[in-house]
Structure 1
């Protein structure tokens, strides 16, 4: 019985990193390589929610130390967010995060046009690096 308990304990402690990091990393890479945008949204939503959960967990660490089942609750939540049968990350993003973002940043201007009416690349970093002198004001 002692060896079985040791194996179960190790499996339980490995379940978190595998479920919350390894599988999502693999699935994110596969999503980038696939032509579909649906899986991209699922995994971007997952990483947003995972980051938020990690931040909350860091801030409330002393409280969570008193909640003995926190790790198990976190595993169940992560499974719901990650598993393709549930698509919990996309669901939570759509219901909670997206509404708040759209309230604060309504889509009043087109992201592909600049204030002077010229077409603008969607990649702001490339625009920043490749801008022409005088285009964004005097230097």
Structure 2
């Protein structure tokens, strides 16, 4: 059975049982999720924040693997590079960041900005922050190619 059909059936049952619009359950669920992230009981804020940054892009990535177009692949690969860079920076600055009030709530909104196609935030962050740092090493420039050639020569 299709996941979207199951969702529609659950929301229809909610409407019939409580005599409320289905948007209430969606908004209520999102509000409860963000409240849990904000309160961060037992460190659950970090888990829920990372889940927000992983679930939807992961789903889109699985769908993109089934298509022949490379446009969605490039957009998603850009997201995963930015997501990984953010996690590395977060790991090394953990002692400072966790003192910021509502850090995981801010991080959750930032991850949504990065992942949602209507904002295309990952592309913006990649172009403005990561590309200037990495282009001289990865963009087919001489240092990267020379290093790769030297490694290949040593292994042969």
Structure 1 residue 98 corresponds to structure 2 residue 131? yes
Contact 2:50 2:108 (C-alpha < 8 Å) held by counterparts = no
Match of 1:33 among 66, 81, 93: 66
1:22-101 mapped onto 2 (5 Å cutoff): 22-101=55-134
The structure with the largest helix share of the pair is 2
Contact 2:37 2:49 (C-alpha < 8 Å) held by counterparts = no
Q: CA deviation at 1:106?
A: 4.9
Taking structure 1 as reference, are residues 73 and 108 closer, same or farther at Cα in structure 2, changes over 3 Å only? closer
Q: CA deviation at 1:94?
A: 2.5
Secondary structure of the residue aligned to 2:98 is helix
Question: Could you tell me which residue of structure 2 aligns to residue 107 of structure 1?
Answer: 140
Moved over 3 A (4+): 9-15, 104-109, 136-139
Contact 1:46 1:90 (C-alpha < 8 Å) held by counterparts = yes
For 2:80 and 2:89, locate their aligned partners in 1 and report how far apart those are by CA, in whole Å. Answer: 14
Q: CA deviation at 1:80?
A: 0.6
Q: CA deviation at 1:102?
A: 2.5
Q: Which moved more, 1:31-40 or 1:69-78?
A: 31-40
For 2:83 and 2:124, locate their aligned partners in 1 and report how far apart those are by CA, in whole Å. Answer: 14
TM-score, structure 2 length as denominator?
0.57
Instruction: Give 5+ residue unaligned stretches, structure 1.
Output: 116-127, 129-135
Q: CA deviation at 1:88?
A: 0.9
For 2:54 and 2:83, locate their aligned partners in 1 and report how far apart those are by CA, in whole Å. Answer: 9
Q: CA deviation at 1:30?
A: 1.3
For 2:95 and 2:133, locate their aligned partners in 1 and report how far apart those are by CA, in whole Å. Answer: 29
